[in-house]
Amino acid sequence: MNNRLRVGAIALASLLAACTTVSTSTMDDTLATHIRGATVAVVVEEPATFSVVLTHAVGLGPLGIPEMVEEGRRLVGENHIVDPADAVATVLGDALAGQRGAIVLAAHGASRRDDLAAIVAAAPADARYVLDVATVSWGVGNLPMPRSNYFVGYVARARLIDVSNRTVVAEAGCLQAPDGSEFNGAYAQLKANNAELVKTELAARADRCVRFLKRDLIGIAL
């Protein structure tokens, strides 16, 4: 593998594999019993930086990273691309209420960083548990072969935190490597018409992510 292709593969892996270190700890029967009738607040973390793995920037190695980050910021800002984490949190909260009998508080809190103390502080004082949701990786990736093809990637993490001792009692993440179901083509196609395809693909990835999180966090079969 030549250097440019190697850098492209590394950039692609970085975009998609951000949550591979998230351990899966599914809600068990004991926790499900404690959750029933308990108040659960929802807190959404500030998302990771949206980046675009540009073909020519990949050839620059580490020097191309600022350009990929800047292109991601421009794409999101100019086309009003919204972080899916809040919508993911809403669906998970509904599942906790409907399937596990929790009392999920309507208002969502916000945390600027991944810190348990800050996340708990962002929740209402009467919350017994906190459902914490974060977009840990999102952006447009570039397939190493063929190098002209781009796709939209999305990775999220969800945790259930016990407020009394600030410990994570359930945790899950979703990792979706390209499997042929996503659009892949020229970057110009993805960003055309106010990035319509980016928004469509992002929504599809987030919807699939929710299914995995329901299973691996809450214990709801697919």
Q: Count of residues for the chain?
A: 222
Residue 20 confidence (pLDDT) above 80: no
Mean pLDDT of the chain: 87
State the average pLDDT over residues 80-101. Answer: 97
Tokens standing for residue 149: 């093809």
* Four-CA torsion 68, 69, 71, 77, nearest 10 degrees: 160
pLDDT value of position 21: 56
Which DSSP helix (H) or strand (E) runs through 144?
Answer: none
Q: Is the separation of the CB atoms in 42 and 86 below 8 Å?
A: no
Tally of CB atoms within 10 A around 60: 15
- pLDDT of res. 183: 79
- The pLDDT of residue 145: 64
Confidence of residue 42 (pLDDT cuts 50, 70, 90): very high
Sequence-distant (≥ 6) Cβ neighbours of residue 162 within 8 angstroms = 128, 129, 168, 169
- Write down the pLDDT at residue 10: 47
Give pLDDT tens digits for 115-149. Answer: 999 999 999 999 999 999 999 999 998 876 666 68
Residues 6+ apart with CB under 8 A from 155: 16, 17, 18, 19, 135, 136, 137, 138, 173, 174, 175, 176, 209
Query: According to the model, what pLDDT value does residue 54 have?
Result: 83
pLDDT at 8 (0 to 100) = 43
Q: Facing residues of 123 across strands?
A: none
